[in-house]
Amino acid sequence: MRTDSGTEPVRSSESATRRRRVADWLAKGRTQSLLIVLILVNAVVLGLESYPGISAQWGDVLATLDRLLLGVFVFEIAMRLYAHGKQFFRDPWSIFDFIVIGIALVPDSGLFSVLRALRVLRVMRLISAVPSMRRVAAGLLSAIPGLGAVVGIISVILYVFSVMATKLFGERFPEWFGTLGESAYTLFQIMTLVSWSMGIARPVMEAFPYAWLFFVVYILISTFTMLNLFIAVVVNAMQREQAAESESGVAEDVRALRMEIAALRADLSWLQAAGVLPRERPSEDRMTGKSSEQRGYRATSDATMGLSRIMHSEAAPGVLLMLAAGLAMIVANSGWSAAYQSFLDIPIVFKVGAFEIAKPLLLWINDGLMAVFFFLVGLELKRELLEGELSDVRQALLPAAAAIGGIVGPALIYALINSGDPVGIRGWAIPAATDIAFALGVLALLGSRIPRGLKVFLLTVAIVDDVGAIVIIAIFYSSTPAPITLIIAGAALAILIAMNKAGVRRLSPYLLVGVVLWAAVLKSGVHATLAGVLLALTIPLRGSTPGQLSPARQMESDLHVPVAFAVLPLFAFANAGVSFDGMAFSDLAHPIPLGITLGLLFGKQLGVMAVAVILVRCGVARLPQGANWWGFYGVAVLTGIGFTMSLFIGSLAFHDGLPVKLPVDERVGILIGSLLSGVLGYLILRMALRPGSAADSDEPTIR
């Protein structure tokens, strides 16, 4: 029995109506007042639990009441998630409430016993629940940039007066003004009005009668003037926040009106599908001659193109990766190194019956979160193969062949340097990858002078590099497979393929089977990240109706931000913590880091350039549109930025069951090679592509 496809709009309309009703109920004044009362009651309960006498007599009652209140809060968050969907996570206050309640749900025993004290954070939900408190908090947060300028002014004033105080009073009062640092600390005390009169100023004035001029002028400038500046910045920010809140109310009304219009359109579509109303021909645009359906489909298609999305946010992920890696190296070489290592070694166990996955946090990041990254790579790969740059063989020939050359070149250089070391040779694939986030970040620094053809070429090379890395990991860095779990993984993959062939368009069945596939691949001995690629290749790329966003495109759009701004920075922070303790400069000449550095810096560019020169000179391919040979060479050098995938392959080559300890950390070579490739590529491109040079000939000659 077939289901009438016309009922789907009605279901969508009913679902939107139910969500709207829930959202209206949550936004009612009575609901908000009840929530505030419950938060206050919870605050009192948590406070009473801190008194030993009350806790001993009424502890069970207070604990039960606390659990009931927590249950109400969880229900409220669940209703908000249902009502607002993905819009929930676009509101910072909603994310704040979600995190606070999430912390309260973490078990407060064993390793997480310290979180018992954090349960009181639930009381801070008053900040988001009470509008006036929310405006004050938002104003303070939005005032941070302005406060930073005020802090800068105070720092300059403090420095100037510290130098003066050291010169004036340092010899007589060395305990307060003996050095620049001591003077700065003393003046900071005076600025906060801590024991400045009787404790500091008057003793100094006894020796220097006119010192009062110094102190009075300093206090007037630093304390009273700066305090007024602070207040002015905060008040101004609060006024802006209140105005923005008023505008957001109007925007919310417009959004609600749009939802009602969408519901009416869905009902109209159902009536037309049922034959109650005649179908209307799509209206054509007088200017373009295109129908509204064509324009809608084109707009949806353009908005979800991965290439355009990456180009519009190309700098931020690379900067964030760089900051995460830098923070990891700072922490690993500071007094926090032990805490950093303990953080990565936190044991996390998932157990269902006899099935158990027990790994430290580092491996959950590398095997779990990186599977999400490879899932996104698989989605982009499928799109490019079927509809993107790789769908046209002639167009894809140059970047695909250049990428293969960029894999072979560094691998050969590394293998030549480490040919006599059976342990070192395991890392031959480390310099073979390209980090697209870093590479595009470098291109972003050059602005509009970079031709679009070079950007497309670099993106395509990176995608083919990722495919090569996936194949290399599957063949060379997976252990002997376990037959039973491999059979389970094969069965899960067969189910995914069958669902694709049957026309299943809902994402939830794919994701559910995908979790089983990931767990089976993890236990099979094949690296778990490959499950992400296999799952991605089975998700439909086309929607059930023309103009509808397909499941694959929807997932690619939803995952881009969390992967770029959460998964990859967390991976970088967990894997880039290189300790330089005990490392000598001569260690850089060790074959392993030397092979990686030379492979990334020279092997990548030589492999890419050699293949490109041969194909272009033979007339088989042409350079990217708008590019000359120097610009192309600069991009070839940028392919030597191998940060993320190189770190990942390095963790597989040297840290998973290695029988001996390496004399030097291979990550040093990755960092040096990637840094040199990025700097050199940037300089070459800056010299080769001056403003206005993007329009170079499409058929440059080799000179």
Model confidence pLDDT, tens digit, residues 319-362: 777 888 888 888 888 888 888 888 888 888 888 777 788 888 88
> What's the pLDDT at 633?
93
- pLDDT for the residue 371: 85
pLDDT over 60 (residue 485): yes
What does the pLDDT read at residue 696? 43
For residue 497, the model assigns a pLDDT of 92
Quick one: pLDDT at residue 549? 77
**pLDDT value at residue 285:** 42
Q: How confident is the model at residue 119 (pLDDT cuts 50, 70, 90)?
A: low
Which of the four pLDDT bands, split at 50, 70 and 90, describes residue 9? low
Between 304 and 670, name the one with better pLDDT.
Answer: 670
Q: For 433-451, what is each residue's pLDDT tens digit?
A: 888 777 877 887 777 678 8
Contact 609, 684 (CB under 8 A): no
Q: Can you tell me the mean pLDDT for 453-462?
A: 83
Task: Among 1.20.210.10, 1.10.10.60, 1.10.287.70, 3.20.20.220, name the CATH number for the domain at 144-237.
Answer: 1.10.287.70
How far is the C-alpha of 411 from the C-alpha of 391, rounded, in Å? 28
* Percent above pLDDT 90 for the chain: 11
Here the tokens at position 652 are 């597989």
- Ranges of CATH 1.20.1530.10 domains, the chain: 337-478+527-695
Sequence-separated (6 or more) residues with CB below 8 Å from residue 78: none
Least confident of 187-196, 437-446, 585-594, 661-670: 187-196
- Segment 412-425 mean pLDDT: 89
Distances in Å between the alpha carbon of 438 and those of 374, 481, 569, 609? 17, 34, 12, 20
- Look at residue 605 in the predicted model and tell me its pLDDT: 94
The ranges of the chain annotated as CATH 1.20.120.350 are: 7-129
Above 80 in pLDDT, residue 272?
no
CB burial of 201-225 (b: ≥16 within 10 Å; e: otherwise) equals beebbeeeeebeebbeebbebbbee
> Would the pTM count as exceeding 0.85?
no
Per-residue pLDDT, averaged over 101-125, amounts to 62
Q: What burial class does residue 114 get, using C-beta atoms within 10 Å of its C-beta: 0-12 exposed, 13-18 middle, 19+ buried?
A: exposed
Q: Which residue has the tokens 């009612």?
A: 28
What residue spans in the chain does CATH classification 1.10.287.70 cover?
144-237
Class of CATH domain 337-478+527-695: mainly alpha
- Cα 511–chain centre separation: 21
CATH of domain 7-129: 1.20.120.350
Who has greater pLDDT, 120 or 245? Answer: 120
pLDDT of residue 122: 62
Give the pLDDT confidence score for residue 148 in this predicted structure. 64
**Encoded tokens for 552:** 């694959």
Q: What is the DSSP code string of 75-91?
A: HHHHHHHHHHGGGGGGS
Beta-carbon neighbour count of residue 132 at 10 Å? 8
Name the range with the highest mean pLDDT among 156-170, 181-195, 508-522: 508-522
pLDDT digits (tens, 9 = 90+) for 127-141: 767 766 766 666 666
Largest CA distance in the chain: 102
pLDDT reading at 655 higher than 80: no
Distance separating alpha carbons of residues 308 and 325, to the nearest angstrom: 27
| Of 223 and 18, the one with more pLDDT | 18
Number of Cβ within a 10 Å radius of residue 301: 13
Please tell me the predicted confidence (pLDDT) of residue 307. 41
3-class DSSP state for residue 130? coil
